[in-house]
Amino acid sequence: MRSLRILATLICGSIALAGCKSEPQAKEYPFGVAEAVRRLDNSDSAGFRYARHCGVLFNFGSNKSDDHTVTWTARASRKDVFTFNVVVVESPKGVTLKLSVPLERNGREIYDGTQKYNHPLLRQPLRPAITELIESAMEKRSFDNERVEADARYLDRSPSGQACSEDAQILAQGFAADYDGPPGPSMETAQKLAAKNHW
């Protein structure tokens, strides 16, 4: 019997040293499903869009999909570009939330920090910013980009990072990028920029 205890201790110790860790517990919020859905549906979508956008003009907002789900949709060029949703689940002390972000064809989440888009809507990675959008909604406050984890706060290091930066600079000059356009500014935009800046 003693040898079994020693063996069990050794196995548990080796597992701990190997870096095994349990799944993080879902955060619980101390109110009911209806209140959680109401808060999520009243999130600061405009603040999120303003803090995270590149240079494409797009609409972004939420709607209640059903009694337990809120879905956010980004639309550009008169079409849905992406959506994500949060499902509210009852828990012993209130509710927990489950975020669902769709996958690209390569099997990775949209805007996950590895994706390449000609004219991205938002800086990557998106998930940390969505997490702050959700937290701000649950706390009934404005979206605060300063609360997004530091690595994802301002600089987009993704393959789309340069396009995002260029599009944002062009938008600051008063010209929006075309979501469906080829990489770089359009010829029309380049001509307008040249005329405006006397190039």
Q: In what order do the strands lie in the sheet with 69-76?
A: 59-66, 69-76, 79-91, 94-100
| Residues 196/174, Cβ–Cβ less than 8 Å | yes
Residue 7: pLDDT above 50? no
- For the chain, the domains span 26-197
Q: Containing H/E element for 131?
A: helix 127-138
Per-residue confidence band for 198, with pLDDT thresholds at 50, 70 and 90: low
How far apart CA 134 and CA 136 sit, in angstroms, is: 5
For position 60, what pLDDT does the model report? 97
Residue 150: partners with Cβ closer than 8 Å, 6 or more residues away: none
| Residues 175/192, Cβ–Cβ less than 8 Å | yes
How far apart CA 47 and CA 62 sit, in angstroms, is: 13
Residue 35 dihedral angles phi and psi, to the nearest 5°: -65, -40
For residue range 97-122, what is the model confidence (pLDDT) as tens digits?
Answer: 999 999 999 999 999 999 999 999 99
How far apart CA 4 and CA 7 sit, in angstroms, is: 5
| Residues 15/85, Cβ–Cβ less than 8 Å | no
For position 185, what pLDDT does the model report? 72
DSSP state of 115: -
For residue range 26-75, what is the model confidence (pLDDT) as tens digits?
Answer: 899 999 999 999 999 999 999 999 999 999 999 999 999 999 999 999 99
Among 77, 72, 27, CA closest to 52: 72
